[in-house]
Every structure is written in C-alpha cells, then in structure tokens.
Amino acid sequence: MGKMSLKVGIVGLRGIGNQHASCHMADELAELVAVCDVVKERADEAAEKHGVQSYGSVQEMLAAHPDLDIVDVCTGGDENGGWHYQPTMEALTAGKHVLVEKPISNDITEAREMVALAQKQDRYLGCNLNHFFTEPADEAAQLIADGKVGEQIYCLHRMGFVGGEGSYGGPMGNANAKDFPYFHVKAFLAHPFSIMRHFCGDITHIQAFLSRPGFRQAASDPMLSVNSIHCRFASGAVGYLFSQRGDATMGYGGWWSVEVGGARGTFIIENCVEKLIFQPAPGMGGAADPAKLNLGEAPKAVETNSGETDFNVTFGHRIHAFLEDVTNDVPKHKLRASGRDALASLEYTFATIESYENDGALVHPNALPSLERAPGVE
Ligand SMILES: NC(=O)c1ccc[n+]([C@@H]2O[C@H](COP(=O)([O-])OP(=O)(O)OC[C@H]3O[C@@H](n4cnc5c(N)ncnc54)[C@H](O)[C@@H]3O)[C@@H](O)[C@H]2O)c1
C-alpha cells in the first residue's frame, strides 16, 4: 500500500492560493480538504472548483477539521507579508505543519517568533522559496557536492522584472504595495537571497544602495525599485546581487541568472528553470601568462537545457518537496526551504534596509537561531 496522503487546508484564495490549490490537487501526497478566506466568496469559488469545504476564517477551518496535517498560508497583506503571521501562529498553535508563502513576514520580529514557535511545537514550518526547486538548480547543487566547483570565490546574481520607462505604468495601486517604499525589497528579495544562500551558505556582511529611476521619481512613486547589494559569505566568498522591478531590461540570462565561480569551475543558471552552463577552470595547459598578454583559456563549457521554460512549474516542485519531507518525517533541521531559511532571507533583507538607511554602511545580519538537532538524530 502507498503512503497515506496528507490532509491540507489553504488560507487565502486569491492568485497564489488558487495556484497552490491546483498543485495539491495534482499531487498524490496531498489531499486538499478545506480552504478559507476572510472574503468568503473567494474560498467558496475555490471550494466548488475542487470539491472541498469552504470557511471564512482559519479558526473555523481548524475547528471543523481537527485531522488537518498541513495548513498552507497563501495570504498577502502589507508588502505581501503582513498577513502571514496570524494564520501561521494559529495553525502552529493548533499543532499543524505550516507551509507559508514568501516573505515569511514583512516584520522581522514576527518572523523570528514564527520560527521559534515551530521549533517549540516541533512542527514543520516551510516557506515557498520555490526558485531553487528546478532541474538546473539540482544539477548545480550536484556540481558543488561533487567538488567540481571547489572553493567558492564569487557569486553574481541578477533577479527582477524586465522593463524600462516605456513599460512603466505608474505607481503600484494595489493595497499590498501602495505607499510602501520597501515593497520590492521586502516582497521580492526573499527569492534572490534564498538562491545565494542555497548555493553559497550564510551571508555575514551586507552593503546596499537602493534607488528609484527618474521616471518613478517624476511620478512620485515611493518604491525603491533598484537594489544593488554587495555581500560576503561566511565561507569567505564574495557576492553581488542586483534586483529591480521593471526599470531596465536584463541582458545575459534574462530575468533570473546566477553565476557561482569556484577554484575548480564556474556554473551559470539562465532564466531560472531553463539552462545550466558549467565552465571548468583551466589546468596548467590553459594558464594565463600576463607577460605575453595571454589571458588564459578554460576548457569548453558544457551547456544543459532543461527543455522547460515555464516558471510556474516551480510551485508544484516546491510543494511536492514539502509534502515529501513531511511524509518521510525528515529530521526538522533537514526540511528543505524551512522557516529558518526564510528567516535568513529576511534577516538579509533587514540588513539591506539598515545599510541603505545609513548611506551604504556595512551591516552584519542578525545571527540565525541555532539548528537544534534532536538528540540521536543525524
Ligand atoms: N513564491 C512565489 O513565486 C510567489 C509569487 C507571487 C506571490 N507570492 C506570494 O503569495 C502571497 C499571496 O499573494 P496574492 O497575490 O495571492 O495575495 P492577495 O493579497 O491578493 O490575496 C490574499 C488573500 O488572503 C486572504 N486573507 C488574508 N488574511 C487572511 C486570514 N487571516 N484568513 C483568511 N484569509 C485571509 C485575503 O482576503 C485575500 O483573498 C504573497 O505573500 C506573495 O508574496 C509568491
């Protein structure tokens, strides 16, 4: 007999909640049983589509379904994270595992409390940091594990929305974004920081410059949409992140590219789901000889195309990974894209803001809670 499926309830049924609902419906490890939204009609519509129960609040959903295993929090709120705390805390208090959308919260104190409560309750808290649940990211992680990258020297990451003055439609009018200068910083940087940390480990130093192009300033748009961030990793490697929200187009690698350079080889991922390029470092045969203006030559790069172009596949992949980890009862500290991992991204985000507010000063992000491994667990 196969493994029992996990009973799932979703909170917040707008664009993203409905996307999660389809993923759970298509996944054999999940059984979607209930949905809720404070705007009840939104829950009703999704419930009807999937043949599940509908509620107007998290409390009602929890009370009616004491056997729920997982609560999937797809609410938005201020800076797309203001309404994550309450439903997450309620679900964890009720003893449920939680998958929460990113950013874990728009408030660092709340995020720390969420991670602490999950640990206290001994429940899984995962975050939908979906961008590294892809074929190219898996292959890149394998290159690192196989020692083909070697000591990491640098990480260059660009992620954002392509655009320019011609596609600018004025300040965002949506209530989650309107009047929040840090909307892009808080709502979006969860993703690129999670990628850099996934491949290169913890970040210990951050310096940031944030700005707005002239066309935003002319429209009195408060959003600090241009984010230029320099960092250093605990490993000693250095890194650079450029993110923007439709202010310029992006050349090489499209809307999403990462390059991690190591002493033995360098990999590049283009367009998130699409392409991996591995460039081995030259041996003595390709060594540089500056005296002869010879810059050195590396062996031929190896390029792998996944054949995938649809970013939305990352939702199903990431949700499946969470369902797998819960089904397999993995040790809590081995949960992929955990609440603690999401907290790391948010600590870097708050360090970014602090640096910007202090004219680009060097900031050390707050240390993460220790990874408390249960006794006897490897
Ligand atoms: N991982 C990704 O690639 C990705 C992409 C886009 C958006 N997101 C994230 O997804 C989340 C949701 O985005 P959205 O655009 O669907 O948000 P939204 O704000 O449009 O919708 C949220 C819904 O949640 C409901 N809600 C809020 N608080 C609630 C509560 N306590 N109980 C019940 N219902 C509640 C609201 O009524 C609304 O219908 C955001 O956090 C956003 O950052 C993630």
Please give the pLDDT value at position 290.
87
Please give the pLDDT value at position 187.
98
Q: Ligand 1 centre and the CA of 249: distance in Å?
A: 27
CATH number of 6-131+314-338: 3.40.50.720
pLDDT by residue (tens digit) across 353-374?
999 999 999 999 999 998 876 6
Comparing CA positions, the residue from 236, 159, 141, 209 lying closest to residue 357 is: 209
pLDDT by residue (tens digit) across 290-330?
888 888 888 899 999 999 999 999 999 999 999 999 999 99
Comparing CA positions, the residue from 278, 318, 312, 315 lying closest to residue 298 is: 278
From the CA of 42, give the closest atom in ligand 1: 39
Domains 6-131+314-338 and 133-307+351-357 share a fold: no
142: its two tokens: 């394998």
Please give the pLDDT value at position 341.
98
Please give the pLDDT value at position 1.
41
CATH number of 133-307+351-357: 3.30.360.10
Residues at CB less than 6 angstroms from ligand 1: 11-17, 36-39, 42, 57-58, 74-76, 80-81, 83, 86-87, 101-102, 128, 130, 176, 187
Q: Ligand 1 centre and the CA of 19: distance in Å?
A: 11
73: its two tokens: 């929090």
Q: Ligand 1 centre and the CA of 80: distance in Å?
A: 7
Please give the pLDDT value at position 170.
97
- At how many degrees (to 10) do helices 108-121 and 339-357 cross? 160
So where are the chain's domains? 6-131+314-338, 133-307+351-357
CA dihedral for 371, 117, 16, 185, sign (positive or negative): negative
Please give the pLDDT value at position 3.
59
Please give the pLDDT value at position 2.
47
Q: Which residues of the chain have pLDDT under 50?
A: 1-2
